[in-house]
Structure 1
Amino acid sequence: MKKTLYDKLWHDHLVKPLGDGFDLLYIDRHLVHEVTSPQAFEGLKLSNRKIWNVKSIVAVPDHNVPTTNRLNGIEDKISRTQVEALNDNCKTFGLMLILKILDKVLFMLLGQSKVFFCLV
């Protein structure tokens, strides 16, 4: 039986089966955005944890950045606050942050290849 892409990815990242339908996976790339990451960073701070492999993480604000009139900045206060929080958290934890995106397609491509190593 042919394996799906999902099956192949799962197999390639499987560390070991844990039983009862659970598996331990190794995630070699983590893409972070500005909307839900503040909660994760807050959890790290509260538990006094550091990030194990900062080189495996790339942060890209992709939900709240304007697609037109970028020279005006982010006008919506909540959106601006989320992007600023991502910037601050990346500085605090030493993560790669890509702020200047040519277009919305870039973030989607980042997840499918190792192109991001060439962008910095």
Structure 2
Amino acid sequence: MSPKTLYDKIWDAHLAHEADDGTCLLYIDRHLVHEVTSPQAFEGLRQAGRTVRRPELTLAVADH
């Protein structure tokens, strides 16, 4: 077996599920938000009746 690249190691560590067709579901352990697209994302969650799963993992940065 050949050694894994850093990319492969990170991918493997975050792979939650791989479907038969090769589609992968990754676990995201950080939520990076900024003022441009985050309001729409949170509105989408509200409309779907969902919340941020782990809000303590959210990092917001002022971009401008």
TM-score range, shorter chain: 0.7 to 0.9
**What root-mean-square deviation, in Å, do the aligned CA atoms of Structure 1 and Structure 2 show?**
1.4
Q: Which amino acid aligns with 1:57?
A: T
The equivalent of 2:20 in structure 1 is 19
Greater radius of gyration (CA): 1
Q: Which amino acid aligns with 1:6?
A: Y
Q: How has the CA–CA distance of structure 1 residues 47 and 16 changed in structure 2, closer, same or farther, with 3 Å as cutoff? A: closer
TM-score, normalization: structure 1? Answer: 0.47
Q: 1:20-39 alignment to 2 at 5 Å? A: 20-39=21-40
The equivalent of 2:9 in structure 1 is 8
Deviation string 1:18-55 (CA, Å, 9 cap, x unpaired) is 12111121111121111111210110121222111101
Specify the SS of the correspondent of 1:45: helix
Identify, as 1 or 2, the structure richer in helix. 1
Q: How many residues align?
A: 63
| Runs of 4+ more than 4 Å apart | none
Gaps of 5+ in 2: none
Question: Which of structures 1 and 2 has the larger relative contact order (alpha carbons within 8 angstroms, sep 6+)?
Answer: 2
Quote the offset at 1:4 in angstroms: 2.2
The equivalent of 1:59 in structure 2 is 60
Identity %: 57
TM-score, normalization: structure 2? Answer: 0.79
